[in-house]
Amino acid sequence: MNKKVVLVVMDGIGKGSGGYGDAVSMANTPTLDMLLRNCPNMYIKAHGTAVGLPSDSDMGNSEVGHNALGCGQIYSQGAKLVNESIESGEIYRSQSWHEIVSNCIKSDSTLHFIGLLSDGNVHSNINHLKSMIARAKEDGVKKIRVHALLDGRDVPALSATTYINDLEAFLAELNGDSFDAMIASGGGRMVVTMDRYQADWDMVRRGWETHVLGEGRRFASATEAIMTYREELNVTDQYLPPFIIEKDGQPAGRIVDGDSVVLFNFRGDRAIEISMAFEYEDFSKFGRRYMPKVVFAGMLQYDGDLLLPKRYLVSPPNIKNTLSELLVKNGIRQFAVSETQKYGHMTYFWNGNRSGKFSEELETYCEVPSDIVPFDERPWMKSAEITDKVIEAIKSGEYGFIRCNYPNGDMVGHTGNLDAAVIAVEAVDLGLARILKAAEEHDAALIVTADHGNADDMILTDLSGKAQPKTAHSLNPVPFIIYDGHKTYRLRQGNFGLANVAPTIVQILGLDIPVMWEESMLDIY
């Protein structure tokens, strides 16, 4: 190996329209502009079929994006995996489904579903939930309760009632003398249950108190809760506080001994912590106060190394032959860094949903702790600290491959705050300038890309023609740029995506591209 490679993933920074609402084009980005003007570059796909999702109408996300970046291959992912399992009926033939259902029948108990209620296809899909409820009734379950986490992030910011109405109409058609299904509790995804990377365990605690203990503000219906909170607090769906639905003067559906519980999110990062709370006997992240003895299952196994959860309905993709594995086999030292919000993407997801390292000797991971503050209040996040760590790694001369993730464009983009997103993009550009200089001084090739778009498309127009913040990922392509102050590269023409990045890195490093990988984007160099 002669050449060293530094990869910068600008999370959530794609190619937008260039108009108002495109925080990337609105930002002052002299470094990114220079790279796009002077260096070999193209825009590549980071959504839909390019990352293993069902169709090109499906937005990409950081998890599938980093899977593709890290393995050079396209695997069926998330919604597509579950879709295939439901369509084939495999999910209902699984041992886990049998155990979930038979427990409810044997104990005459309740089947609970917890998850994100939307069709965003990033964490979940309401159609998966509806399929399982219908099948549970067919299989003999008599009582079902849904704990609905409200989205407003991967779907329009004020769309929760659309999904609530859809689900309630569906349940009404199923309900009868021998079947009782209803929404029991809920809350916004950024307040209740769906924390990730152990950044804010209070979110999970609030979820536990809501779904399990039945503690919280009570309402006659989910719609009443949503409309009341919107009026009182003036917040979007993802930030709505927890709520309990009351029935006959009591919480409609506490989770108690003998029940079955399905976490129907298929994406792992925001499902791991609540799974820990249900499965771990030795648990100290918050006081559970009551630990119900339930049969618990996830839609997928969210962490293959931790075997969490032990019971799951659909097997995750078995990602093999990753870039990290290849580099370890060739004795190349690697350095990976991000702050807490995207640390798992640079490690777990990058390595094919694998928590551990392939080599303790050859791989170094560095996590910069994220601040627990609203991202739009501190849009620069930890970009300076991440940059410092990358430069230290470059200057050390120890590593053949260095990778980092700047979360700013994604995490601030999700807030819907356009002004803050502009600052977030500018903070990334400042870090990029410093890394570029260090890479040139130490004869390293710099590759700049992103895992999906977000900050590039932050305004949408509703049916009334009114502009409102857009908090979801975009369907836009992302940049792929090579900068090298000491060598000339040329890119080929083609319909490339994130899975083509790893082969390109390998070619620059002077290694053979594995036969099962996608092709390199390099023409000659």
Residues annotated catalytic, as ranges: 62
Residue 490 neighbours by CB distance under 10 Å: 11
Alpha carbons 193 and 184: distance in angstroms, whole number = 15
Residue 208: φ, ψ to 5°: -60, -45
Determine the distance from the C-alpha atom of residue 476 to the mean position of all C-alpha atoms in its chain, rounded to a whole number: 17
Report the candidate in 393, 385, 401, 399 with the shortest Cα–Cα distance to residue 341.
385
Reported as half-sphere exposure (CB side, CA atoms, 13 A), residue 361 has a value of: 6
Sign of the CA dihedral with 61 first, then 67, 72, and 77 last: negative
Contact 343, 61 (CB under 8 A): no
What are the angstrom distances between the C-alpha of 188 and each of 22, 208, 212, 275, 475? Answer: 26, 14, 17, 18, 24
Contact 167, 183 (CB under 8 A): yes
Report the candidate in 149, 254, 145 with the shortest Cα–Cα distance to residue 195.
149
Contacts of 258 (CB under 8 A, 6+ apart): 103, 107, 109, 293, 294
Task: Identify the DSSP state of 47.
Answer: S
